[in-house]
Structures are given as C-alpha cells and as structure tokens.
C-alpha cells in the first residue's frame, strides 16, 4: 500500500478512494488489519530526526576565525606566563560558545513542537464500532468521525459532511473557516481549495463530517512542512558573515605583518630571540581581545532595548540583521490584519451605507455620505441588521482582554454591526424568540431561523445566488415590497467584491402565527430580499503606518499569504504595499499556481518586482524567500502559522507572532513580537540599525589602537630601536581600553534620522573606505605621538621604563579623545549633546584612574614594567590626544561639507 501515498485523493471518486484504501465506510477496518497497517506505516507521529549531537554542536561554536585568533592569543599569553589574562580571554570565548549553543538548541525545538501538535484523541470507526483512541494509533484506511471542536488527527478524504467548517489558517493562511464538502475536485486544485480534504492539526469549528485517512505522520501536509523545516538551511546573518570575513582578513594581516617584521629584523642582523619577542608583541598588540566581549554585550543591550518595545530576540545576531533588512515578507492574516472580520459596507432599500470602526469592539456607527444614519428611519436597513443579529449562532462577549467572538467570525461581524447601529441583541431575541432553524449546509448555501412573537418571521442569510433565486421582491426604505432587479443586486455585489469584501445576502419570509418548524421547502420561494452586508478582515491601523515608515527607510514590504487573491489585493491596496502606486490603488497579485509554473530565474524576477502573492503553499513561501536572497536581498519573514515555519527558519531573520503564533512558528523564528503588532517591526528595525551603528563605531574606535601599537613595534624593529610597547603592556592597553572606554559606545543613543537612511548594501564591507581611511589616520597619529614621545624621552635621558610608560599613556589618552569623535561617525559630540551618553564620561574617568595606577603604584610598576613620569610628560601626552580629536573633527566636517554642500558640524 505504500505506493498509494502519492495519490491525488481529492481528484478520485469516493468509491475508488475506499477501494484503494481497502476499507468500508460503514464498518471501518478490523483489528487485525489495523495491526498489520501499524506495522507497515508506523505510528501517526512525526519522526524525530537525528541531528548533530550536543558535544559536536558545542565544539562547532569554536569553529570561527575570530575565535581562532583569540585562542592563539590565549596560547601566546600562556607562553608569556600571563595566566590571568589567558584565563579571562578563554572565559570570554567559552561564554560566547555557551550562549551560541543554548540559542541553537532552542531553535531546533521547532521540530519537537510539531511532534506535540499531533498529540490528540479522535473518534474512529473500527469493526463497526465507534471508539475513542489516541491519534498516534491511526492508520491509512481508518474511518474517522469529526465534530465541532475536534483537531483533525491526520489527512482525510471527506466522504460525508454536514455544515462542516474547518479553520485551516495555521496551515494555509486562509483567514476564515473553510466550508468542506464531499465530491470530486479537479486534478490541479491547490491545497487551500481542496474542499473535500481535511488536513492534520487543523480545527473543526462547525458541523460534522466523516472521512477516511489517506496519510499519517510524516506523509501528512504538516509532515511535509516538518521536512521543510528540517531541510531549510539556516543562513549566517549579515553580521556574522561580515565579522567572519573581517576576522579572516585580520588574521592574515597579523600573520603577514609578524612574518615581515621577523624577516626585516633578521636582515638588520637582530637576534632570533629578540625578533621572536617582537613578533609575539606585534601579534598580541594587533589582536582586538575585547572585540567578542563588546560585540556580545552590545547585542545584549540591543536585546534589552527591543524587549522594552515588545520584541523578544531569540538569537543575538538577529538584532543587527533587522537593521540591514532590505525586504520584509509578511503574512496577511493576524499580522498585517486584525484577524477580526468586520462589516464595512451595506446595501439596503436601494441605498449604500458604510460602517465605521474595526474589529470586534462594538464601537462605530452606520454612515451615509459621511453622516451618521438612524437605522430605524430606513426600514430595509433596520430589517437587514435585525436579520444579521437573529439569524446567528455566535456570541459577542467582553472580558478583561477585550471583545471576543464565540463562534463563527462572520456571524460575529454581523453581531458587532447590529450593536453599532443601536440594536439590543437581548431585546431582539426576547421580541423574536427562536423557534426553529435550518443550519448552514454547503449544498444549500444559506442558514434560516424561525422566530415567534407578535409578527412571526423567517430570516435567512447566505450566498447571493442562493437567496436571490428564492426572492420575488425587495424591501425598500419605506418598508414597501418592490420588484427585485437581479442586475442591480449583482452590480452591488461586484462593487463590494472588487474591494475584497466577503458579501452575504439577507432575506425574510412572513409565516403564520401557528408555525413552529421550518424546512427547506418552506423557504424555497416567495422571500423578500433585504439587502447585502460586505465584510473583510481589516488591516491594522498601526500596520499601515509601520509599512510607510519601512518604505521611507528603503525597506520593501511584501505580502505572502494563503488567502484569496482579491482579498489580498484589497488589503495590500489599503495598506499601500506597492509604493509605486497611488494611495488605494490595487497592486498586481501573483497566485501560487502562477508561481508553480515559473522557472527559478522567472521566480527571482517575480519575487523582486511583485508586492503581493496569494494562495501560496508552504513550499512556495520558502521558495520565494530563497529567490529574494538569490537576488541579494536581506529577507525578513513574518508569520504566525505552521505554514510559515520553513520560511521563517530559512529567512535571514524570522519574526513570529507571540499571541496568535503557533509554537512551531515561534521556535523557528529569530524574533517574537509579544504584541503581534507589525508596527513593532519598525521599532525593531530602528533598534537594529542603532546597534549596528554602535558596533561600527566600536570597530572604528578600537582598530586604531591595534594598528598604532603594531606600527610602533614595526617602526622600532625597522629602526633597530627598543620596543616602545612590551607584550604585557599591549595586553593592558587592549583590555582596559576595550572594557572601560569602548563599552561606553554600546550605550550610545540612536542618531537622528536613522530611519531615513536606506538599508546597507548586503554585500558591503563591514567598514567603508571612509572609515578605513580614518582608522589609518588615527593609527598614524598614535604612531607619531607614541614613537615620537618615546624617542624624545630616551633622548632626554629617561629610562626605557619611563619612555614606555609615556608611550602606553599616549595610547590610553589618545583613545579617550578619539572616543569623543566616535560617538558619531558624522557629527560632533556637541551636535549629539555633551552628556547624552554619560557612560562615555564615566569610562574616561575610569580610564584616567587606571592609568594613574599603572603609572604610579609600585605593584603595577613591577607587573607591567612601568615607571612614574613627570607633569610635563603628561602635558605632551594630552597634547597628542587633543591633536587627534581636532584632526578627526576637521576631517568629519570637511567630508560632511563635501557630501551635503553645507557647513555641517
């Protein structure tokens, strides 16, 4: 039977389905056959795939070039006998590895969440008897009975249904429960349109049904999604890619310079031992030991800031990735929209009406031409609203979390609209008590309710085609019956549908007072048409603003949904997703069926040039993300359903919804929005850009220290002079400046206009040519200051210890002044505000104390080979620092004037 698993079950007649699965609709499978199939197919559960073991995953955290550099530094420090320094650096490496290991382990929990999703009980027919069993025991061919509230236990071909509706939003993205029916469908019917199939882990919201299991476990649609998650490659983030590239370049540069220094020294005739020590000093001096720690801390600070703005980060580099995002692929239902059906348009008595307010809160009013309408003055409108209120099985409730609907979202929208118009549901139900009802059935396409009271009446709601055929007249605004013009009705339906509205028709039938029951024959003809109500799942107001803000920041937003094309286009037009169109214009939509027919090259072009994709399958969502990445985009993917998980995992950053999101989507994502608000993404992008700015500021600040120390050592070897900075002194400079000074940049506030800048080019180097020039310039200034004052001190008769103390203090003071320049890469600190980041001044004060201890405390003199220096030496050192500040300030001003043509600051 294994070859049956690839059958197109929706396309086969009922008899052939039962014959292929060798089962009986009235009896189901017998016990022996069940046991045999359980042996063949295994349990109805997702297979847990063997991945990398914990030890291997932990060791792989060390497989990074920057970590190699630090491990080399540890070995060098051990060689030098600097046990404490070696322990500190190795501790930083170990901590980073533990953090990465833990975060990766959480991400891999997505598969376990999918497995848990299949744990449920179900009613099955076996050997002619109904049984309640664990869903894991089901096999293909089992006959399953579905009822409202059940979770579908496996993939089923429906054989019988009565008013069956299933919520498939987590699987397909469809915002409304889908009406199900038995019958044969076309071979090429897409997943979301297969009305005769029920899929594992979806939820029955209404009615009953009977189906035969076609697929279990890994072979179900949710099982295929599990395969996609497992096979989806997790990309390195832009930050980790750039840091890796930078680390490799730095590693090669350090090794190259150390080798060159060694060879030049040999050519000068220096001793092997002295040259080896010089090469070690050069390597230690040029390794930025504080970089990983400050990188981690800066990202952690970004995480804390984002948490305050309702965004929870699950992987640290995701903070920066948001800042470099060029395109956001968003699901529609519950992300860009409220996931609350809302009536917006009505037509009654030949007149059009609009309804204000969105969501389930009964706040709003019925309007005509912008003015509030008294619904009681228009009899047709009043009857239309009453029909929606009474021909209804749902309940509108309010709790501490707000207004909610118990029942069908469509019926909930009708209740809310009646409340907005001033109808009291309790009073209406008391005046028109329900006596009988005909539930909605897909083959009849309507629901009818019989109400007693002073004027017994039957109210109907359903599809326009179904009700129009039963009506002879239409009610006008004065309550008179007029001939029904079908063309006029269809014209109104077309107008509503073109705006993405789901249109329901309403009718009534007066009945004798003695009536206590109704059936389909009673409402087959002679009805009075009352009007139309059009509804839609409206966009979030804050999402509209957030999309505009993203577009202003150069970030394109695309909608990728499983919903219908017309609905998706209407929402996209209202939000303004396609910024090449005028406000309210409907954008082009590509359907999943069109995407399926495209080659990879065509898909890449379509993915970049189209803003809306509808009726998209999980595989196609994943393929769209891959196409955007192939075009060089940094793609973020938002979503809340099981169907979003593979694309969330594959995207550069996956963003899940915290309230409505499934556990599968949350665990596959890099970031979770605690308020399910698309607008939070804008805040997260802003924080991400700020974090990356601060990281670049830190790199621009710290590298001149390493470059300057390296140049000083190279210059000394070239000139056959004593080393101005010893290895242990280089360690002191690197560790103290990074922690006391550089860390202050992690707390730097975001600069003004950060969301008016375009995204960074994904393949751009981590440092621009401008910043590299600035790093070299500062490095040369530190070289001139440190080597010059070192040689001057020796010329004046100072000891080597005193001269080296002066050189070390040049680096500390020079970096303190340069720190003020690096608070902004474009503006002066006066533009930002002198005290807008008090951590900078605290760091400078701490560095000052540390250098005074380094210079004057005897214990420090013995440990670091330093010596006390005089007041005039400090004056020279401060002069070097001031020169660095003024030169870089002038360079920034000149560059800004050249770029803007204005005076700049």
**Active site amino acids:** 331
Cα 288 versus chain centre, distance? 33
Cβ atoms of residues 817 and 704 within 8 Å: no
CA dihedral 218, 221, 222, 228 (to 10 degrees): 80
- Whether 267 and 274 have beta carbons less than 8 Å apart is answered as no
Phi-psi region at 155: left, alpha or beta (left = phi > 0; alpha = psi -120 to 50): beta
Residue 444's SS3 state is: coil
What DSSP element (H or E) covers 374? none
| Positive or negative: CA dihedral 764, 767, 768, 772 | negative
Which residue do the tokens 């549901």 mark? 425
Strands 342-348 and 197-198: unpaired
Nearest to 682 by CA among 555, 572, 549: 549
Nearest-angstrom CA–CA distance, 80 and 804: 19
The residues, ordered by sequence, that sit 6+ positions from 323 with a Cβ below 8 Å of its Cβ are 685, 687, 688, 689, 690, 691, 692, 693, 760
Residue ranges in 370-485 assigned as alpha helix (H) = 379-390, 409-420, 425-431, 464-468
The Cα–Cα gap between 709 and 784 comes to: 11
| Per-residue b or e along 132-156, where b marks 16 or more CB atoms closer than 10 Å to that residue's CB | eeebbbbbbbbbbbbeeebbbbbbb
Residue with tokens 């090429």: 188
Dist. CA 125–CA 534, nearest whole Å: 41
Which one, of 756, 800, 816, lies nearest residue 550 by Cα?
A: 756
Q: Residue for token digits 């953090």?
A: 99
Question: CB within 8 A of 842, min separation 6: which ones?
Answer: 744
Of 468, 381, 9, which is closest to residue 194 (Cα–Cα)? 9
* Tokens 């499983």 -> residue: 562
Integer Cα distance of 324 and 330 in angstroms: 17
Q: What would you measure as the largest C-alpha separation in the chain, in angstroms?
A: 122
């Amino acid at each position: 039977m294994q070859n049956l698993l690839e059958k197109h079950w929706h396309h086969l007649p009922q008899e052939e389905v039962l014959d292929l699965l060798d089962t009986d609709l009235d009896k189901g499978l017998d016990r022996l056959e069940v046991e045999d199939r359980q042996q063949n197919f295994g349990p109805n559960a997702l297979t847990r795939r063997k991945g990398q073991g914990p030890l291997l995953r932990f060791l792989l955290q060390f497989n990074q070039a920057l970590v190699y550099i630090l491990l080399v530094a540890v070995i060098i420090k051990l060689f030098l006998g600097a046990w404490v320094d070696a322990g500190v650096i190795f501790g930083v490496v170990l901590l980073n590895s533990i953090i990465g290991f833990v975060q990766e382990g959480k991400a891999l929990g997505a598969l376990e969440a999918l497995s848990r999703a299949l744990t449920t009980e179900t009613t099955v027919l076996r050997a002619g008897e109904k049984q309640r069993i664990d869903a894991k025991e089901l096999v293909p061919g089992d006959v399953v009975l579905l009822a409202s509230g059940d979770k579908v236990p496996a993939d089923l071909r429906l054989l019988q249904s009565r008013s069956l509706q299933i919520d498939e939003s987590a699987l397909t993205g469809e915002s409304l429960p889908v009406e199900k029916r038995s019958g044969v469908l076309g071979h090429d019917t897409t997943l979301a349109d297969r009305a005769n199939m029920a899929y594992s882990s979806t939820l029955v919201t209404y009615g009953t049904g009977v189906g035969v299991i076609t697929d279990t476990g890994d072979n179900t649609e949710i099982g295929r999604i599990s395969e996609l998650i497992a096979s989806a490659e997790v990309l390195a983030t832009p930050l980790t890619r750039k840091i890796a590239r930078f680390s490799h370049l730095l590693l090669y540069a350090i090794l190259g310079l150390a080798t060159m220094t060694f060879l030049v020294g040999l050519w000068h005739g220096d001793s092997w031992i002295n040259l080896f020590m010089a090469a070690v000093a050069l390597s230690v001096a040029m390794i930025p030991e504080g970089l990983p720690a400050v990188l981690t801390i800066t990202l952690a600070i970004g995480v804390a800031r984002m948490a305050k703005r309702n965004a929870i980060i699950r992987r640290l580099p995701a903070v920066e990735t948001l800042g470099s995002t060029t395109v956001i692929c968003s699901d529609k239902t519950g992300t860009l929209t409220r996931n609350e059906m809302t009536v917006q348009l009505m037509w009654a008595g030949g007149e059009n009406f609009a309804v204000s307010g969105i969501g389930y809160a009964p706040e709003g009013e019925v309007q005509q031409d912008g003015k509030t309408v008294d619904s009681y003055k228009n009899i047709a409108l009043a009857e239309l609203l009453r029909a929606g209120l009474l021909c209804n099985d749902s309940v509108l409730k309010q709790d501490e979390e707000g207004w909610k609907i118990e029942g069908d979202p469509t019926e909930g929208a009708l209740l809310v609209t009646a409340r907005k118009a001033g109808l009291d549901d309790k009073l209406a139900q008391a005046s028109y008590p329900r006596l009988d009802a005909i539930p909605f059935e897909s083959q009849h396409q309507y629901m009818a309710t019989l109400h007693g009271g002073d004027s017994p009446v039957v109210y109907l709601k359903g599809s326009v085609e179904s009700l129009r055929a039963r009506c002879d007249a239409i009610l006008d605004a004065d309550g008179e019956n007029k001939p029904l013009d079908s063309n006029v009705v269809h014209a109104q339906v077309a107008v509503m549908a073109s705006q993405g509205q789901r249109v329901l028709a309403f009718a009534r039938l007066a009945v004798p007072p003695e009536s206590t029951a109704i059936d389909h024959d009673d409402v087959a003809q002679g009805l009075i048409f009352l009007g139309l109500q059009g509804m839609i799942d409206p966009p979030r107001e804050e999402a509209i603003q957030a999309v505009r803000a993203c577009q202003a920041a150069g970030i394109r937003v695309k909608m990728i949904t499983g919903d219908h094309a017309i609905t998706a286009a209407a929402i996209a037009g209202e939000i303004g997703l396609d910024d090449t169109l005028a406000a309210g214009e409907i954008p082009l939509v590509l359907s999943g069926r069109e995407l399926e027919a495209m080659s990879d090259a065509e898909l890449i072009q379509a993915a970049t040039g189209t803003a809306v994709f509808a009726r998209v399958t999980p595989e196609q969502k994943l393929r769209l993300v891959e196409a955007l990445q192939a075009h060089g985009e940094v793609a973020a993917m938002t979503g809340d359903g099981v169907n979003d998980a593979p694309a969330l995992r594959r995207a550069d950053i996956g963003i899940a919804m915290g309230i409505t999101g499934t556990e599968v989507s949350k665990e596959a994502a890099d970031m979770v929005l605690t308020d399910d608000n698309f607008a939070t993404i804008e805040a997260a992008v802003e924080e991400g850009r700020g974090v990356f700015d601060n990281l670049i500021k830190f790199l621009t600040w710290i590298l001149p220290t390493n470059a300057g120390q390296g140049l000083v050592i190279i210059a000394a070897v070239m000139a056959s002079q004593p080393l101005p900075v010893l290895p242990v002194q280089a360690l002191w400079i690197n560790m103290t400046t990074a922690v006391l000074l550089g860390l202050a940049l992690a707390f730097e506030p975001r600069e003004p206009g950060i969301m008016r800048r375009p995204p960074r080019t994904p393949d751009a180097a981590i440092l621009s040519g401008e910043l590299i020039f600035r790093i070299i310039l500062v490095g040369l200034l530190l070289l001139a200051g440190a080597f010059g004052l070192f040689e001057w001190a020796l010329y004046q008769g100072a000891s080597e210890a005193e001269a080296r103390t002066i050189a070390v203090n040049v680096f500390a003071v020079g970096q303190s002044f340069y720190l003020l320049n690096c608070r902004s890469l474009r503006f002066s600190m006066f533009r930002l505000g002198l005290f807008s980041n008090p951590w900078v001044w605290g760091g400078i004060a701490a560095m000052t104390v540390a250098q005074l201890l380094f210079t004057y405390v005897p214990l420090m003199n013995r440990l670091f080979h330093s010596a006390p220096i005089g007041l005039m030496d400090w004056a020279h050192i401060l002069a070097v620092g001031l020169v660095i500040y003024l030169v870089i300030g002038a360079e920034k001003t000149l560059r800004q004037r050249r770029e803007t043509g204005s005076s700049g600051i």
